[in-house]
Structure 1
Amino acid sequence: MNFDNETKISDFHGFTCHEFQLSGREARVAEPKTALPGRPWIWRTMFWDAFPSADIALLERGFHVGYVDPGDTYANAEALALYDALYDLLTTRYGFSKKPALEGLSRGGFCAYRWTYFNTDKVGCIYGDAPLCDINALSRHGEAWRNIMNAYGASDDAQMKTLEGNPIDSLPMLAAAHIPIIHVCGDEDTAAVNADNNDIVQARYPALGGEFTLIMKQGCPHHPHGLKDPTLVADFIVAHCAEGAALVAAMERAPKSGAVISIPAGEW
């Protein structure tokens, strides 16, 4: 596998990682030792190599990991075009699956949901880890809110309240497209507060007919993301994004829609 504008081949936790430029931004693809049929992949929307336990587990199972750095653009039009470029490159030129798993940590969760809203036919599932699910929940965070307003060229809060693709408002479209969602959250998160984010998705999505699974970490704040043992997340993603024998095996083990799994303090 060779990429145009490749700048470096590096090591990603024992796996080959291709680093290259895409539309002037840093991009990376980590490849498994042996790829599964159909080249399934997980797409990390932000924060490369931060709390990567699920990425590593999926590489071990034959998934690729894709990434392009959007910067602090909060999934605005510029970022969505960049994501489109990565998707088109990997699926068209390199034969990757046309329905990856989108992985979003923190505000990367907002990016995953917003790209999915505009591309419901191109997503196998969403894995949100302490995800930002309502952009307006940040309106009380001064500097972050100013950055968001600048990213969207918004002059007042009212413009952001009607933003197309805000995750909690996009759930009907995602449910209609049968996109499964899994969240991993901490019950003491004061950054992506559950009441403003996860809890809304958890209440609304199943009511819309969507598949939703929650893993709640007891006593956990916003960090650390991920899980020491990412098996449940990996099984969920393989069950919805792989094909053949790998999919069948994962379906038997994966947490089911509607499950709420509690991870005790000290075990996450």
Structure 2
Amino acid sequence: MVIPEKVASGKPWVWRARFPDFHYEMDVELLKQGFHIAYLDVADLFGSPRAISYGNQFYDELTKKHGFQKKVALEGVSRGGLFIYNWAIANPEKVSCIYADTPVCDFKSWPGGKGASEGSESRWQACLKAYGMTEAEALAYKGNPVDRIQVIAEARIPVLHIISENDQVVPPAENTRLMFSRVPEPFRKDHFKIISVKTGTEKSKGHHFTHPQPGQVVSFIRENTLQKDAKHTSD
């Protein structure tokens, strides 16, 4: 937990999943504006039910014991996408907005490597263990974010992703774009946005890049988190 020097009204917070030191420009700015920045390391649980259980405990600790805002802004980087989406799908009423950076939205893509991504065999085995599944069960599983994104749409949770179009590790076509395509047009038009980066670095196989619009992310989180808190307070 990173605590701001001056806490904003309502005690808003950002909850980041995985790689807290990657593309952190937005978090630094939000910290200056009074947001707490929270991190819970459940990376090697790949958004499994056990990870969600830990997340529920973490949320209760911060909101019930420390008075944090009831609706949290979720941030997920890469595999962190599995956690933030699965937690949000289980707790849609507790989420103000979702910002995801090159997120994994289907474990069959990564770490499974069952599509265009090479995946990671060691991480795939760890993922299967985390979910308590055989590979056949995992391939037939319909509980990934790409399968359940309608819950987020129906809850009217605003979503912003940043993707690299040449990402070979977490290909957008198997993750963000596939997931967004399953959202009904009326919901998608107003609530699901993408910042597109043409090319990521060669070294990272397109997965990493310099963030082009951190200010847009800050505005997105402020607008949705602070407004919803104000509405909540006035109800």
TM-score scaled to structure 2, two decimals? 0.85
Picking from 194, 214, 222, the partner of 2:194 is 214
**Percent identical residues:** 33
Higher relative contact order (CA 8 A, sep 6+): 2
What is the match of residue 88 of structure 1?
60
Q: Partners of 2:199 and 2:183 in 1: how far apart?
A: 25
TM-score scaled to structure 1, two decimals? 0.75
Q: Partners of 1:137 and 1:208 in 2: how far apart?
A: 27
Query: 1:125·1:181 contact (CA, 8 Å) conserved in 2?
Result: yes
1:171-186 counterparts in 2 under 5 A? 171-186=149-164
Q: Partners of 2:145 and 2:229 in 1: how far apart?
A: 33
Counterpart amino acid of residue 150 in structure 2: P
Counterpart amino acid of residue 177 in structure 1: A
Structure with higher helix content: 2
Shift of 1:35: 1.5
Counterpart amino acid of residue 157 in structure 1: A
Q: How many residue pairs end up in the alignment?
A: 217
Structure with higher strand content: 1
Partner SS state of residue 147, structure 2? helix
Q: Gapped runs of 5+ residues in structure 2?
A: 114-118, 201-205
Query: 1:126·1:180 contact (CA, 8 Å) conserved in 2?
Result: yes
Shift of 1:91: 0.7
1:68 aligned onto 2:40: yes
User: Are the structure 2 counterparts of residues 206 and 217 from structure 1 closer, same or farther at C-alpha, using a change threshold of 3 Å?
Assistant: farther
User: Are the structure 2 counterparts of residues 196 and 71 from structure 1 closer, same or farther at C-alpha, using a change threshold of 3 Å?
Assistant: closer
Shift of 1:157: 2.6
Picking from 183, 195, 198, the partner of 1:205 is 183
What is the match of residue 108 of structure 1?
80
Shift of 1:160: 4.5
Q: Gapped runs of 5+ residues in structure 1?
A: 1-28, 248-268
Q: CA RMSD in A?
A: 2.1
Query: 2:15·2:74 contact (CA, 8 Å) conserved in 1?
Result: yes
Query: 2:17·2:43 contact (CA, 8 Å) conserved in 1?
Result: no
